[in-house]
Structure 1
Amino acid sequence: MPITLPRIRAINAVANGGSYAAAARQLGLSQPAVSQHVRDTEAEYGVRLFLRRNGALHPTPLCAQLCDIAERMAGEEREAERILTRHTTLLDGRLSIGLGNSMPGMAVIALFRKRHPSVSVSVETGSFEKIVKAVLAREVDVGVLPDLPADGRFRTELLVRQDVVAVVHAQNSLAERQSFTCAQLMEAPLIFRTRGSSTQRVVDRAFRAARFEPAPILMLDTRDAAYEAVANGLGVGFMWRHGTGRTDAVRRIPVREMNRMYDEAAFTLADEQAVMVDAFMAAVRAFRAENAQQE
């Protein structure tokens, strides 16, 4: 009997969840139905898919190969759904957005929702690398990132131009400064982001150009964690000037070697023609024009 899509899904769900019960909840099936899929596959092909250790089911190497196939199949299913829904009207559409920074992307989303209140919007946040990969894999429809390199695979719409600034707790004595140099920052407790952050790329370039090798006291994997570390007085961090709408207890201070302005843009795949994506790009243009008038 040929392997079926429900069987592949069941095997992958058991591998991810570690039990038949967890897989059943994920798939909306009964536990006996899930276990039957696994047992039938093992019996018909004479293979072992799972080993039980410490009360959990662990995939065998053979099962891991099947799970890789299952993930690819899931990606194809998502793409098939996108093809079927990309021309849906704005009356009942869906749009997924990947944000590298909360702001100004959230402000554009608010404008988009005001224009198209019936569109369902989902938001994924993450590092620069994560959001680029999500757009390339069509896991999100559109991304919003600063310092996006020229890439023929994308079409882009400029949102804002901004620089990276140092952020310091308002009660820190360093908060009285009007600006920093990298040499001055070498004397401060520094809070860095981990690899994959667009902010950290700019910071690394600035210190490298100034011929310094800083040793941060903290390396954090999310911008929110870095912001909270600064807000709790742990040291000096870095962020895009308009990267958050928060103003609590933190001062933004320019750094001489980081004063270059970078474009933050919305981007999607060059061949993407979805109605919702075009509507979001129109909201980006409207946001940019509104802010230009205020300036």
Structure 2
Amino acid sequence: MKSLSPKDPVAALTFSRLRALNAVTETGSFSAAARRMAVSQATVSQQVRDLERALGAELFRRSANDMIPTPLCQQIYDIAREIEDDGLKIAELLRRHRTMEHGELRVGLGQPLPGMALIRGFRSRFPGVEVKIEMGSWGRIVEAVAEGRVDVGVLPEPPEQERFRRRRIQSQSVVAIVHPDHPLAGRPMVSCADLAAERLIFRTAGSSTQRVVDDGFRRAGVAPRPSIVMDTRDGVLDAVSHDLGVGFMWSKGASRQAELTQLPCREMSRERPDYIFALRSTATPLSNAFFALDPEQSERPSSGF
């Protein structure tokens, strides 16, 4: 392959020299260009001098502290600006490629499902990405997304606010859950009046489940007192599995339910949508990929998780 002569103008047009030319043209001085490029003034000055020497042409006229581009420089700049912009686009593509292969995604879940199924689908597509999961109540996950502690959240009916983007993925209702030996276990459906006579296990404030339960009892005109209040969904499942009372959960909220019996409740039977949601201002390639997942395909078994 023929090697280029040191005086060949194409060999002189290195990316670093063109960047220096662009910066001096746009800022009007070596010092300002150096600050923009985060290099020394001497480096910028040397890049421009080397380019002028290699091209055999003056690119800037010195006037006091100003660098005035010559007509030739201006013509070169118009093209060099496009070259630098294209270089930045290539750098962004490479950054995204590295992020999609070895990045990190933080996910906030109010309950295991459907979030875990989505994570399984995500991991099958991006096995090198580290997934960090924060579990918590509805209020805690909304707060985590709003404060940027997680990149995306999966919740029933997250706030419909302009700062959040949302995507509906499924619907489910809140059901009562009882031990298989409980007297209500054989009923096809119960009412809030039926449940009010039982020992009830509630969640703490901030739980999406408890908000639906409270609303159901309110509309039924009854105000029962719980016998136990738990701060986690798993605590409710454990309490019900020990036959300590009637609890509540989302109908699709867990893959393992300790052989408990679900009872649809008349006043709580309205299905409510689950969403993936995130801040609009913090979209990333990974969070966008999570948003694009097909929930039905994500539920299929995968070797990636």
User: Is the CA contact 1:86–1:273 (under 8 Å) kept in the aligned structure 2?
Assistant: no
Q: How many residues align?
A: 205
Displacement of 1:271 in angstroms is: 1.8
One-letter code aligned to 1:269: L
- Residue identity in the other structure for 1:244: A
Partner residue of 2:234 out of 217, 224, 228: 224
Q: Counterpart in 2 of 1:121?
A: 131
Query: Residue 287 in 1 paired to residue 295 in 2?
Result: yes
One-letter amino acid matched to 1:213: A
**Structure 1 residues 214 and 86: CA distance shift in structure 2, 3 A:** farther
Task: Give secondary structure in 1 for the equivalent of 2:184.
Answer: helix
Range with bigger deviation, 148-157 or 85-94 = 85-94
Please report how far the alpha carbon of residue 206 of structure 1 lies from its aligned counterpart in structure 2 after TM superposition: 0.6
Return the offset for 1:249.
2.2
2:101 is matched with which residue? 91
Structure 1, unaligned stretches of length 5 or more?
1-84
- CA deviation string 1:145-185 (max 9, x = no partner): 01223111100111210000000111212111111100100
**CA 1:127–1:145 in structure 2 vs 1: closer, same or farther (change >3 Å)?**
same
Partner of residue 258 from structure 1, selected from 255, 260, 268: 268
The CA deviation string for residues 208-245 of structure 1, in whole angstroms up to 9 with x for no partner, is 11111111100111111011101111010000001100
User: What is aligned with 1:164?
Assistant: 174
Superposed CA deviations along residues 101-135 of structure 1, whole A, max 9, x for unmatched, are: 11111011011001110110000000111101111
Whether 2:228 is the aligned partner of 1:215: answer no
Deviation at 1:289, TM superposition (A): 6.4
Question: How many Å separate the matches in 2 of 1:215 and 1:98?
Answer: 31
Structure-2 residue corresponding to 1:154:
164
> TM-score scaled by structure 1?
0.67
CA distance in 1 between partners of 2:97 and 2:141 (Å)? 24
Q: Name 1:134's counterpart in structure 2.
A: 144
Partner secondary structure for residue 100 of structure 2: coil
Contact kept in structure 2, 1:99 and 1:144, CA below 8 Å: yes
Question: Alpha-carbon deviations, 1:57-95, whole Å to 9, x = none?
Answer: xxxxxxxxxxxxxxxxxxxxxxxxxxxx88853111100
2:110 paired with 1:100 = yes
Deviation string for 1:18-56 (max 9, x for gaps)? xxxxxxxxxxxxxxxxxxxxxxxxxxxxxxxxxxxxxxx
**Whole-Å separation in 1 of the counterparts to 2:225 and 2:119:** 37
Superposition TM-score, scaled by structure 2 size = 0.65
- Quick check: 2:117–2:298 contact (8 Å CA) kept in 1? no
Structure exhibiting the larger radius of gyration computed from Cα positions: 2
**RMSD of Structure 2 on Structure 1 (CA):** 1.6
> Post-superposition shift, 1:288?
4.1
User: 2:120–2:298: 8 Å Cα contact kept in structure 1?
Assistant: no
Change over 3 Å in CA distance of 1:278–1:240 after alignment to 2: same
- The answer as to whether partners of 2:182 and 2:243 remain within 8 angstroms in 1 is yes
Runs of 4+ residues over 2 Å off in structure 1:
85-89, 288-291
1:177-216 equivalence runs, <5 A:
177-216=187-226
Distance in 2, matches of 1:86 and 1:188, equals: 55
Question: What is the distance in 2 between the residues matched to 1:114 and 1:190?
Answer: 40
Q: Does 1:273 align with 2:273?
A: no
Distance 1:87 1:213, change over 3 A: farther
Tell me the amino acid that sits aligned with residue 278 of structure 1.
Answer: N
Distance across 1 between alignment mates of 2:210 and 2:234? 14
CA contact (8 A) 2:237 2:257 kept: no
Match of 1:12 in 2: none
Deviation at 1:282, TM superposition (A): 1.4
Rounded to whole Å, the distance in 1 between the matches of 2:201 and 2:99 is 46
Whether the 8 Å contact between 1:88 and 1:275 is mirrored in structure 2 is no
Cα distance in structure 1, aligned partners of 2:298 and 2:124: 15
| 2-structure distance, mates of 1:290, 1:229 | 31
Instruction: Classify the secondary structure of the residue corresponding to 2:217.
Output: helix
Identity of aligned residues (%): 45
